[in-house]
Structure 1
């Protein structure tokens, strides 16, 4: 059986419909997150620092790290991600990945000889195909 509570308007509401507000324990979360960082740091020691910018080298470690931060945030009744957890994760990123920048590729045109060849080949093939089609259509009496 459900308990009924009356409100000022005389309407009733079941206790199961009432939601208790649970506040995020930010201090508990901030106390627990460094353990995730320490664990990630220990795992990253297994990876050559020259390979820290190659995600495939440490994707499993990073996945464990993010799961750990999510778990600790949830244990402290906090949503994840949240500004405090994001700040912590950003600190870890600065520690390990600050030298990883996405360098943009600078595209250059090929030398003129190659460029002219790449343009002329499809043009010449198109002309040859048109000539062949016109020639074959004029000679349809032979092809039939």
Structure 2
């Protein structure tokens, strides 16, 4: 089962874990990306996400297929917030179950790296001073390398 979702709702960790848990699996691995309150000396108050939704969903489904070719995985859940995400709330949640821990742990790491590199979701940091800055994912092949 693949559960892909772009949402403005708060991400529900307990429900996600219940969704991917299966009696045949000995591992459930998870990554939560949360909004931190600072960046390069500036106080961050929230993140704002936008996406090219239809393409993002296609890319996320391709990513699931790719991971299933690389590892023996049972369930994959990838939920990403859109809109405003306040400090300490989760923007992205990846939860993967597998018969053994190695597969799900490796797949979670691969998933977040590939999501940032290939899925058309954009993030803007909003600072306490009121200004904001669109952020470039360093994983993107077109990102400027500094």
Structure with bigger strand share is: 2
The TM-score range, normalised by the shorter chain, is under 0.3
Greater length-normalized contact order (CA 8 Å, ≥ 6 residues apart): 2
Structure with bigger helix share is: 1
Indicate the structure (1 or 2) with the bigger Cα radius of gyration.
Answer: 1
TM-score, normalised by the number of residues in structure 1: 0.25
